[in-house]
Amino acid sequence: MSSEQNPQVLIETSMGDIKVELFKEKAPITVKNFLGYVKDGFYDGLVFHRVIKDFMIQGGGMNENLEQKKPKFAIKNEATNGLSNTRGTLAMARTAVVDSATCQFFINTVDNPFLNHQGKQPDRFGYCVFGQVLEGLDVVDQIRAVKTGSKNGHGDVPLEPVFIRSTRIVE
């Protein structure tokens, strides 16, 4: 699946670096959207605000006080691209509305086939995979193992914030 033309992004976290490859041919809208946030420095200083050990780690939308950072517009869900939510893949978070993804993303810590596209109905449409971890899966595993609790009405929040220090496109 890897190709020379796929963009790569380095996500520097407070627990180490995660390098990801983005599948621009399979998820062109999603990749363009994500890269736009990266170029704007949108993710810098935000946190992984939702961590569920045997599911995924989610970030890209809130600061350490769980205040939502204002995203740009919602994008079309490209979950029909044939990519699966397997361990180490990046996918877009969204609400129950199919085309509601904006800035928040998650990294699957295990294979999550139930998140894949299974039909046109909103509850079966799935979550768009748009990249995968190339380096730093050990960092993902460190993040998934942190202690979590409730904070400001949110569950599964790391008790010690896990920061996204910066994101940048790497050549």
- The pLDDT of residue 144 is 98
Domain-embedded: residue 3: no
Domain-embedded: residue 15: yes
- The pLDDT of residue 50 is 98
- The pLDDT of residue 4 is 63
Count of domains observed in the chain:
1
Domain-embedded: residue 20: yes
- The pLDDT of residue 162 is 98
Domain-embedded: residue 65: yes
Burial per residue of 55-83, b for 16 or more beta-carbon CB atoms within 10 angstroms, e otherwise: bbbbbbbbebebeebeeeebbebbbebeb
Domain-embedded: residue 87: yes
User: Splitting the chain (171 residues) into consecutive groups of 10 residues, what average pLDDT does each group show?
Assistant: 79 98 98 98 98 98 96 97 98 97 98 97 96 98 98 95 98 78
CATH number at residue 46: 2.40.100.10
- The pLDDT of residue 5 is 87
What's the domain range around 87?
Answer: 8-170
pTM of the predicted model as reported, rounded to 2 decimal places: 0.96
Domain-embedded: residue 1: no
Domain-embedded: residue 104: yes
